Every structure is written in structure tokens, then in C-alpha cells.
Amino acid sequence: MKPNFKLFATLSLLLVAGLILAACQPQTIIETVEVEVPGEEVIVEVPAEGADLDSIIPADGMIECQPLPEMAFDTTGETVASAPSVPVVASGASAPVASEAAQGGGVYRVGIFEDMTTTNFWAANGPDNTVWNSYIQSPQYLAAYNLSHQSLQWVPQAAAAEGPPPVQEGDVWTITIPLRDDITWSDGEQFTADDWAFTAQTVLDFGLISGGWTAWYDANLLVSIEAVDDFTAKLTFNDVPGLISQHNVWGAPILAEHYWAPVVAEAGAGLEGLEGDDLVAAQAEAQDILFAHQPDGEPFAGSYTLGQREPGAFVTNDPYASYYGAGQTVTIYENGSYQSVELDGTTFTAYGEPEGEPTLEVVEGPFFDSVLYTIYSSQDAALLALKNGDIDFVLNPLGLQRGLLDQVQGDENISIIENGVNGFRYMSFNVRREPMNYCSFRQAVAVLIDKEFVTGTILQGVAFPLYSYVPEANGAWYKDDVPKLGFGLDREQRVELAKEILRQDGFSWEGGVEPVFNVDAGSVDPGGRLLLPDGTPVPNLNLLSPPPSYDPLRSTFAVWIESWLNEFGIPATANLIGFNVSIPIIFTEQDFDMYILGWSLGQDPDYLRDFFHSEQAVEDGNNAGGYSNPEFDAAADAIFTCQTFDECKEISDQLQLTLSTETPYVLLFDTGIIEAYRSAGIDFPYTSSLSGMQWTGNPGGPAMVNVAKVK
Amino acid sequence: MRGYLFKRLAQIVITFFLFLSAIFFLVDAQPGDYGNVFYSNPRLTPEQRQQLKANLGLDQPTWVRYTKWMSSFLQGDLGISFSNYPRPVIDVIAERAPRTIVLFMSATVVSFYFGFMAGKLLAWNRGGLVEYASTIGGVSLYTVFTPWFALIMIWVFAFRLGWFPIGKFIEPTAWIGAPTEVNDVFIRLIFTALIASVLLFTLLVSVGRLNTNQRRPATWIGMAVIAAGALIYWLNTGLGVYALDILWHLTLPIITLALISFAGSMLLTRNSMLETLREDYVLAARAKGISEKAIRDRHAARNAMLPVVTSFVFSLAFAIDGGVITETVFSWPGMGRTLLTAANAEDIPMVLGALVFTGTLALTAHLVADILYAYLDPRIRYA
């Protein structure tokens, strides 16, 4: 048969045209919803396509909370002894563990699941900001300060003393920090304040905002870092830097000026004298040149230096022989005091004079001749390698899946650790819309969600319920006595409390038929549809959630929430949609009623401002639900200016209390992190640590891991 | 023939650009974009997120990005991989493709060879227990759940028996301090195989002109010379031990892949052979008193090869795609995993770059198959 070329070409062109049309189809931004509330007109305006979302923050559209109704049972969970227990890491709260004296030799073999994407540290903490890069590169660099082992207190690393408070000098504030004079780069050059100043200036000049740079060297606050002399750095800020802002710059990595200066000079050659859009465009080009540089012979000052990299196969880190911290003994005491004693006897003490018994004693390495990171593509293969003795430890930010735990349990050569994590998975309301703008509605929904039932009975304990915006595992900032809506209540009590919360705000049910718990059936007999205070029925609500393939835990919660809301007269539908599908709907279009997602958190609670400040309630902002509370905003701003831990803790507590009451999120759950290591080959000086032993913030990273004692 | 080739080439070029356009718009039509990663950093302001997206060109309309990408492509630039920023896509492909080519081409050759040999024998000895057992066994392996089977192979032969390594494509401890990079050895392996194949093909064609008695010893001597040449080359480079390490890691995945896929070519050959065996020229050969082996191998099997060769050529073309499952289970970081990771992350330039190679090879394979048809079957002539 003769091929019909014309027909083929025509059909192909039609196909391409169809695809183009499909791809170019305009997206609906947000529907318009008008809401009328008796007594005062509240318009929750939602703009037409392309409108500025700044204009829709309904500060006066959110209906305030009422005091929780008096019931025959406790309604806030405050009188309950405590939330379900999870592994906790808090200052001086752990059992004492003393590490053995340094042994040494051999290779510390670690399994990882993805390759490094770059060895360029600027890029690795910028556009290539992956946890895998971080695992390998973090031990190679020093910062002025770092978090201490286990107790997670800020202690000097390259700095020679504790950080002094900021001093006002005219319009600016400064902090002068002395640095150690005994640190050298791995090429023998002296580590100086100029290195820190150079790193900061590069970030500011190049406008590095992706990855970690924007938090470490925040251009909105930090003006410059100058080297007063070789071992004194002066940090200048345009506003008073709070304790948390100081923490950010304290933990900022420092790169070697003598290696990077020529690269930076070449990349940034065209930046001088530019402003505005021209500068932004030039910065983007300069960043590309900087990120594209393949380091060769870059010096390091951390406990390990980059050894060999074979793309797709392995990476090695070699111990840095002149690492300043090698051999020092770190001791944490019962009263939270931190003490380090170096090999020459130099002692540093912080957080009070030591009192009581030591809770932890760690001798720092490096103890191994090399750290070998081998890449496995699947957990199954990595676990078999662990059992087989091919590797000593598996690095995985999600830890070991419970389904795979059976494979290593019972192996006498392998030990399993479980720790709490610093994160939460939550359900957010879109408070721009009715009825989610009613605090009473959000509280009632929070009461109806039985987290203990889902995590305990359905998920068989693989997750634990959460009630606080700072997870209990982050002991230093955790606030236990916040309202825990629904905690400890049975189904009947939940229904009664939720009804009472709504009733006192004017809600009712269609036909006057309320949902009632049927004791005989052990379930809720549905009533009529929930009516708003003005008598209009609650609209159909959607709940976006990741599908089981992405996160079976969150999708299970979504299905149960849908069921509980519907039997209560709230027509809700759980839409289990892909992560990539949901992100633009939630954060850009903000076209949702409720959604379920999760956050991994930093140690300091400044993320409360990032999540809930009204300035983030804009297109592509974190506050996609539109929560707006001027009092909260003011307190959240203050968390960046508070100067002492106690002052900051008080603000953090206030923020947590406000959020737990006003419930812009219903915090759902999180999971602990399970890790397995080959105890026949390695020893950890301690195994209780926030987010597990793999946490890359551990000072020295693998430097604390020792060779196993002969058993 | 020349006219036909020009016409086919023109069709291939048009098809290729339609393919590129289709995959661009299909990949781009996925909800969200690579900018989703910026939402995981709560410290970024909305303006910074917009700026980061703009730096990647994600703020541009679809058709602008399409024309820019197509324009770059025509200049030989496949763009920058978002997830390996700012590494060029071609650089990532150059790093990963050799590993995939070595694994999947080897597996394809092995599975087709054994499939062809088995299919030929099954058709010849039809109705026996061996045929039923081979067919059922082959089809069972062909339809087995690949990740499960691959894991069982690792568990039995690597973990329990310890004959092979558990995953990975090299033994890291053997490569620490190696004088060269892994990819260098992979590329040398590919060239060695390529040169050996060309020499082997030349040898087989040449010995075909010899008389029957000289053929077998000439073939064996020729093959020994080629093998010795390869051996001398690898000993000379000093990289032989590294090549052996790769081959050792290659064995289990190849066996697994060959076991899974050989049934396809076995059944194809068997069916093709059964049809051929009914042909008059086979009957005529028997009537002439030619030996059964010669009828089977030189008359029937050679004519039954046509569909098998077509299938083989297409399989080789798609070998560059690799296999997501195989590469994941065996921790073999090749193109399959790269394509999957890029698609999940919506790294459009990387996805397009990988598919450009697949499309190119697939279309080339079609052309090669057409030409091979004419070569293998003198009855076929293109006008």
C-alpha cells in the first residue's frame, strides 16, 4: 500500500496543534466567593485571574474565636498529663552515655541513595541543595558556631568565645566575634576572619537566595562582615539582630578566600555599578558562572576533606589531619552546662558552670582512615548490603521504612535506633473562604479529627499524633500546655463538643436534626447539613491530600477526615492528587478549602513567622490559607529581635498558644525516624538525637563515629 | 534504492521534529513545574521564588520556551539540567549513557542469541517435552514481576551464595585510587565490543567463502585471534582489572534481564521457523538429501531470521533508555533512572535530552531494519 504522506503530515500537525492548545490553556486562579455574615458584612473577595492576591487578605473576614464551651469533660487536653510520648531530645534530658577512648583505622562505610549533584559548595547550597550533597559536604566546612552534640546548644566552632550581644553604632548594629588562631585550611593556609568576610560578601554581591544561603547570610538584615584583624570578625546589621537571626549567621559555612577569590572575581566581573533589574539579571549570569566551576584542590577546614568521587558509584571523605577539634572531649552536664577540653588542656565552658553528673561525654575524631559513601538505588539492596557487612550505616532522610524493619531485626550485628523528628504533617484551612473563616468551625473540625484513632488503631503506631506547632522532639522550644483540641475524647464526646462549639457561634443543622452518636451502633447517626449562622448551607468542601502512592499516612488521614466531616453534616470530599499537581493549586492558585501537606522544621521556631505571618498570605507565599492576625504578626516579628533565649521562648510560647487556639492548621501527626547501623563495625557515642544520627548538623558529622569495640 | 532512502530520510526528519514537539508539550503539560522545589524552603519570600523560577525561564509562556528550546536544539545545545544545575544535559547523558549501553546492549545480545537458538530448536523438535517446558518456563519468566524476580536473584546469588555483588556497578574499594574514571573504562569496553563485533562479522562473512572442512577451524582460529587481541589491549592499558570488576558486576543483571526477555525472541523465532519449515524450498532441500542440520541452520533458520532481526534492531535502539526497574534494583545509575528522576522532578530539559537520543536511535533503527531487510532477503527490493 502506498503511504499517504499528506494525510500523515496533516494528522501530525493537528496533533501538535492540539497539544499546543492544551498546554497553553489559561489556568483558573481562584473562584470568587462572597460571604455574608449576620451583623457585619464580610466579603471574602477572591480576585479574577491575574489580580493581586495582596488585596484579598481578609483581616476582618476571619471570625474570632469564642471561649471553648463548658462541658462535663475536659475540652482542651490541658489537664491531661501529657501528649503521647515520643522520643525527646532536650537539654540535659538524656541518659548518660560515655564514649570509649578513640580507637581508629579502617573505613567507615555508608550507604546513600542518590549521588552528589555537584562538589561546588556554592551550588550545593544553592540550586543543587539536596540532602545528599549536604551529608557528604557538611563535615568539610566550618562555621563560627555549631550546635552541640545531643543537647543542641550553640557552641563555638571557628569562634574563640561565645557570641557577644549586638551593639548599636549609629544606624547599624554590630557584633564583634573573635576567631580561633589555630585553624588552618587543608592546604596549609591560615583560616582567618577574611575567609568569613569573603564568603558573606560573595553571597551578598551575587544575590544568592536559593538553598541555605538566604537564611545564613540574609541580605535583608546583614550589611557586611569585615575582618577587623586576622582573627576578629565584625558583623554589621541594618537592624537589631535577634538571637535567632544571630544563630542563622553563626551557623553559616565559611569558604576559603585564597581558593575562591579568583573564581568569584571572574564570575562577578560584570556586577559593579549595576542596580535594579540590570543587577538582578547580571547576578543570575554571575551565579551560573560561579556554580559551574568544578573545584579542583579546594581546601577544607572541617573534620573531613573531599577524597575521591566516582559519579554514580561512590564518594570518599578523607580525615583532615589538622582538624582543630580532633581529640577534644565534649561533656554535657545535668544542669545543661557544656564543656569542651582540647588535647592541650584548653577548656571551654558555656551555659553555666558544670553541676551534677555528666549526661554525655564524647571524644571527637576523626577515627577512620576514610568515609566511603556508596550509592544504592534501593533500600532493599542497601539493607542486604548492611546485613552482609558491606556497609556500616544507611543514610536516608526518611529513615528505615517500617516494612523493611523485619529484615534487620534480630540480626545480632545490627542495632536499630528510633528518634523523634523535627517536623509535622498538617491540615490547613483556607480562611479566606466560608466557613473556614470561622474559628469555631476550624476548632470543631479539629475536635472531630481523632488522631489517636488513626495513628494508633489504623496505622498501628507507625505515626504519633501532634498537637503543638513545635514538635515535642524539639525539647528546647516545645510548649506542652497549649490547647489540645479533642485530645483524650471518645467519639461521642468529640461530636458533642464540636456541636457545642458551633452552636455557640450560631451554626445549626438543616431541619434541626443534629448528628448524634449512637451508643448501640457505636457510630454517628448523621443529621441534616450544617448551616452557617445566616442559615445558608455549608458549601461542598474539598480536601486536597497526597495520594497513597506518595504518602499512605496522609491519604489515610484524608479519607477518615472526609468520613467524619460528612457524618457531621459537613459535605467534604477528599481529593487525593499528586504532589506536583497540588503545589500550584495550593500555593499559587490558592484554590482549595483544605489541604494536607507537611513541613520539615528548623530548630529555632522562627518558622512560625514564615508560615503564618500575613505578609506570606500572597501568591506563592507560605501562608496559602490566608491566616491573618495583626497581634500574631507583631509577636512573630518580635521573634527576630528578641535577644535572650528566655525572651524568645516567651514569644515562641505566645505564638504557639495563639495558633493552637485559632487553628489555621490542624496538626495531624509525624513519624519517628528509624535507623539501623552495623554495631559489629561502628560505635556511636550516643544514639538519642533529634531527627536521628544522620542529622548533618552533628558537629564534625562522621567525626563522632568510632570504630566498634571488640565484643 | 537511493530514491527510497532519500524519501525515508525526509520522513524520518519530519517525524523526528514532530516527536520532539509532541514530547515537549506532553512533558510541559504536566501540572506544576520544577519551581515546586522552591516551596520546600519556607525562608524564601514569594518574590524570591518568582526570581528563582525566572532564572530557570519558568516564568515564560509555553510557546516561548518551546521556540527557545527548539532553537537551542538546532544549534546542538540541549540546555541545562535543572536538577543538576548548571550542568549541561549533554554532559549528564554522556556520563550515564555508556553504563546503560553496556548493560542493556549486552543483555539484549545475550537474550536474543539464546532466544534465537532456543526458538530454532523448539520449532525443529516440535511437540516434545522440552518444547512445553521451555515455552512455559520462558513465558513465566517473560511475565514475571520484574522487581520481585530481580530481588530474588540478588538475594539468592549475591546475598546467600555470595557469587555476585549486591547491587552497584563497581566495587568502590577496588576503585579508590584508580588511575582513571569508570566512564573511561565503560567507553573502552564499548569500543572493544564494537571493534570485536565488526571483526567477527568480517570473519564470518570471510569464512563463508571457504569450503566446509576449512570453515570450522578458520572460525575458531579467527575468534581466538580477536579474543587474544582484546586481551592484549586490556593488559596493555593496565585497566584490565577494572574492566573485570565491571564485568563481574554486570553478570547478574545480564542473567536476570536475559532470563526475563529471552522468551520473546524464542517464541518469535519458533513461530517464524514453523512457517518457514512449511515452505517448498525446505521440502526441496530435503528431497536433495541435504543434512537435517544444514536444512535447519542454513535454509530454515536463516529465512526465519527476518522478524527476529527487526525486533533485535529495535531493541538495541531502545537499550539507551535503559530500564527504570532494573537500574533501580541493581543500583545501576544509567539513563532509565535519570529519565525517571528527571520526569518526577519536572526537569524538562533533562527529560527532553534523554528522549532526543531515544527518538534518534529508534528512527535510525527503523531505517537500518529496512536496509537489513533488503540485505537479508534478496527478494526484497525498494523502488
A462 and A609 in a single domain? The answer is yes
CB-nearest to A215 from B43, B95, B155 is B43
In eight-state DSSP terms, residue B80 is B
**pTM for the structure as a whole:** 0.85
Element (H, E) at A415: strand A414-419
Task: Say if residue A427 is in the same domain as residue A288.
Answer: no
What are the C-alpha distances in Å from B46 to residues A55, A112, A397, A623, B147? 15, 33, 27, 10, 42
DSSP A3-17: --HHHHHHHHHHHHH
> In angstroms, what is the C-alpha Rg of chain B?
25
With a CB-CB cutoff of 8 Å, which residues 362-381 of chain B face chain A?
A: none
Q: Give me the domain span that covers residue A200.
A: 142-292
Q: Are residues A287 and A428 in the same domain?
A: no
Residue B223 lies in a domain: no
How is residue A257 written as a grid cell? 578566600
Please tell me the predicted confidence (pLDDT) of residue A709.
58
Residue A462's domain is classified under what CATH number?
3.10.105.10
Distances (CA, A) of A396 to A376, A399, A675: 11, 5, 8
pLDDT recorded at residue A235? 97
Report whether pLDDT(A31) > 60.
no
Averaged pLDDT for residues A482-495:
92
Distance from CA of B364 to the nearest CA of A (A): 19
**A·B CB contacts under 8 A:** 183
The reply to whether A596 falls in a domain is yes
* B371 belongs to a structural domain: yes
Q: What is the DSSP string of B188-223?
A: HHHHHHHHHHHHHHHHHHHHTTS-HHHHHHHHHHHH
Of B245, B167, B172, nearest to A373 by C-alpha is B172
pLDDT at A643 over 80: yes
The last residue of a domain, from among A651, A670, A689:
A670
Count of domains for chain A: 2
Residues from chain B contacting residue A618 (CB–CB below 8 Å):
46
> Does residue A206 fall inside a structural domain?
yes
| CA A164 – CA A113 distance, rounded (Å) | 41
Pick A314's closest partner by Cβ from B41, B82, B172: B172
CATH number, domain with residue B111: 1.10.3720.10
Partnered with residue A499 across adjacent β-strands are none
Cα separations (Å) of B134 from A602, A710, B141, B256?
59, 53, 10, 17
The phi, psi pair for A60, rounded to 5°, reads -95, 5
- pLDDT band (50, 70, 90) for residue A710: very low
Strands A393-394 and A107-112, how do they pair?
parallel
Q: How many CA atoms lie within 13 A of A599 on its CB side?
A: 23
| CATH code (residue A236) | 3.90.76.10
Chain-centroid distance of CA A461 in Å reads 23
Rounded to the nearest integer, the mean pLDDT of chain A is 85
pLDDT of amino acid A672: 87
Whole-angstrom distance, CA of residue A43 vs CA of residue A33: 8
Q: DSSP label at B297?
A: I
The verdict on a CB contact (< 8 Å) between A622 and B42 is: yes
Q: Do A23 and B62 touch (CB under 8 A)?
A: yes
Q: Is the peptide bond before A664 cis (omega within 30 degrees of 0)?
A: no
Percent of chain A with pLDDT over 90: 64
In a domain, A39, yes or no: no
pLDDT block averages, 10 residues each, chain B of length 383: 81 90 88 84 86 89 92 91 92 92 90 91 86 89 90 93 91 93 94 94 88 88 95 94 95 92 90 90 90 86 85 77 80 88 89 87 83 74 63
Query: How many domains is chain B partitioned into structurally?
Result: 1
Which residues of A fall within a CB distance of 8 Å from B333? 115, 311-313, 375, 377
Answer whether A312 sits within 8 Å of B169, measured CB to CB: yes
Overall average pLDDT of the A497-515 stretch: 94
CA-based radius of gyration for chain A: 28
What is the model's pLDDT at position B249? 95
Q: Is residue B97 part of a domain?
A: yes
Q: Which residue type is seen at A310?
A: E
Query: How far apart, in Å, are the Cα atoms of B268 and each of A94, B93, B112?
Result: 67, 33, 10
Contacts of B139 (CB under 8 A, 6+ apart): B263, B267
N-terminal to C-terminal alpha carbon distance within chain B: 6
Res B37: pLDDT = 84
Answer whether B85 sits within 8 Å of A123, measured CB to CB: yes
Q: Is B39 on the interface with A (CB under 8 A)?
A: yes
Q: What is the DSSP letter of A576?
A: E
Report yes or no on B73 lying in a domain. no
pLDDT value at position B9? 87
- For range A90-116, the mean pLDDT: 62
Place of cell 503521647: A84
Distance from CA of B310 to the nearest CA of A (A): 20
Categorize the per-residue pLDDT at A1 as very low, low, confident or very high, splitting at 50, 70 and 90. Answer: very low
Cell numbers for A198: 569573603
Q: Kindly tell me if the per-residue pLDDT of A26 is higher than 80.
A: no
Burial of A549 (0-12, 13-18, 19+ CB in 10 A): exposed
Does residue B65 form part of some domain? no
- pLDDT tens-digit series, residues A394-437: 998 888 887 788 888 889 999 999 988 889 999 999 999 999 99
- Alpha carbon of A559 to those of A564, B55, B373: distances in Å? 9, 39, 57
Name the helix (H) or strand (E) containing B137.
helix B129-142
**A276 compared with A442, residue with greater pLDDT:** A442
Give, in order, the Cα–Cα distances in Å from A234 to each of A179, A229, A623, B170: 11, 9, 35, 49
Q: By CA distance, what is B327's nearest residue in A? A: A377
- Phi-psi group of A438: left, alpha or beta (phi > 0 → left; psi -120 to 50 → alpha; rest → beta): beta
According to the model, what pLDDT value does residue B31 have?
Answer: 80
Q: Tell me the pLDDT band of A677, cut-offs 50, 70 and 90.
A: very high
Our measurement of the distance from residue A513's CA atom to the centroid of its chain's CA atoms, rounded to an integer in Å, reads 44
Which site among B39, B48, B246 would you substitute to test the A interface, given the most A Cβ atoms closer than 10 Å to its Cβ? B39
Ramachandran area for residue A50 (φ above 0: left; ψ -120 to 50: alpha; else beta): left
In a domain, B9, yes or no: no
Phi-psi region of A152 (alpha: psi -120 to 50; beta: other; left: phi over 0): left
CA dist B244 and B240 (Å) reads: 6
Those residues with Cβ within 8 angstroms of residue A400's Cβ, 6 or more apart along the chain or in another chain: A379, A383, A394, A408, A416, A674, A675, A676
**In terms of residue numbers, what domain contains B159?**
89-179+239-376
pLDDT for residue B363: 87
Taking an 8 Å cut-off on Cβ atoms, the answer to whether B154 and A384 are in contact is yes
Query: Can you give the pLDDT at residue A319?
Result: 93
Beta bridge partners of A615: none
**Residue A677, in any domain of the structure:** no
- One-letter amino acid at A427 equals M
Per-residue confidence at A530, pLDDT binned at 50, 70, 90?
A: very high
Q: Which residues pair with A98 in a beta bridge?
A: A361
Q: Residue B128: how many CA atoms within 13 Å on its side-chain side?
A: 9
**Model confidence at A61, in pLDDT bands (50, 70, 90)?**
confident
- 3-state secondary structure (DSSP) of residue A449: coil
Q: How far apart are CA A673 and CA A196, in angstroms?
A: 35
Taking a contact as any Cβ pair under 8 Å apart, which residues of chain B between 127 and 166 contact chain A? 151, 154-155, 158-159, 166
Judging contacts by C-beta atoms under 8 Å, the chain A residues touching residue B31 are 578, 580-581, 584-585
Q: Do A611 and B42 touch (CB under 8 A)?
A: yes
CB contact under 8 A, B39 and A583: yes
Give the number of C-alpha atoms closer than 13 A to the C-alpha of residue A244, restricted to the C-beta side. 23
Give which of B260, B49, B234, B70 is closest to B149, Cα–Cα: B260
Distance between CA atoms of residues A51 and A49, nearest Å: 6
Nearest-Cα distance to chain A for B93, in Å, is: 12
A144-189 tens-digit pLDDT: 999 888 888 899 999 999 989 999 999 999 999 999 999 999 999 9
In a domain, A273, yes or no: yes
Any idea what DSSP says for residue B319? G
Cell of B106: 549486552
Contact assessment for residue B2 and residue B24, using Cβ atoms and an 8 Å cutoff: no
A509 and A649 housed in the same domain = yes
